[in-house]
Amino acid sequence: MGTAGKLSRILNGFLTPVSHPDLPFKAAPGQLSAAEIRQGLSLMGEIESRDFYLFGKPIAQSRSPALHNSLFKHVGLPHRYQLFETDRVEDLLHLLRKPGFGGASVTIPLKRDVMKHVDVLTPAAKMIGAINTIVPSSKGGQLQLLGLASSGLTELPLAL
């Protein structure tokens, strides 16, 4: 398969045949993995880079950035996960509506304070009175910030 064939596999949006890097052979010449397709789409600007955060304090010893960033790299996504250490909700508000905000994990002491700065709370978050996840969602062209408690993850749409 030539260069044009690889490009057509990257650009195809429906039932694209893929290979897996752990297979001992490629199913067909030029077969790409799903990660390679995402890397190609990212290089072409078709997948926008997103910034994800962990909000809270103390978080300096968190392994979340290493975990998330290695996963993003492994699956071919251009995203970044970073620590934003603060115990004041006012310090992070500018990030919530920033272009490229992909979401955040929220830990102590911000789980309750940040609730009033999201647009929608899941029933579990309302009942518990705290959130540990913020997910941006575009509904009708409008950005909404969803506040979730862990059990609310089942209430998310399949693809964000």
Per-residue pLDDT at 4 exceeds 90: no
52 and 68 Cβ atoms separated by less than 8 Å? yes
Per-residue pLDDT at 17 exceeds 80: no
One DSSP character per residue, 123-143 reads HHHHHHT--SEEEEEEETTEE
Least confident stretch, 22-36, 67-81, 109-123, 140-154: 140-154
Sign, CA torsion 147/41/80/96: negative
Count of the separate structural domains present in the chain = 2
Whether 107 and 74 share a structural domain? yes
Per-residue pLDDT at 160 exceeds 50: no
The residue with tokens 């905000």 is 101
109-132: pLDDT as tens digits:
999 999 999 999 999 899 999 999
Segments forming the whole domain that contains residue 109: 51-155
Q: Which two tokens stand for residue 146?
A: 């969803």
Whether 58 and 18 share a structural domain? no
Whether 68 and 142 share a structural domain? yes
CA triplet 105, 110, 116: central angle to 5 degrees? 95
Whether 149 and 126 share a structural domain? yes
Mean predicted confidence (pLDDT) in 38-48: 90
Whether 79 and 34 share a structural domain? no
Per-residue pLDDT at 23 exceeds 60: yes
- Confidence bin at 158 (pLDDT 50/70/90): very low
Q: Could you tell me the pTM of the whole model?
A: 0.82
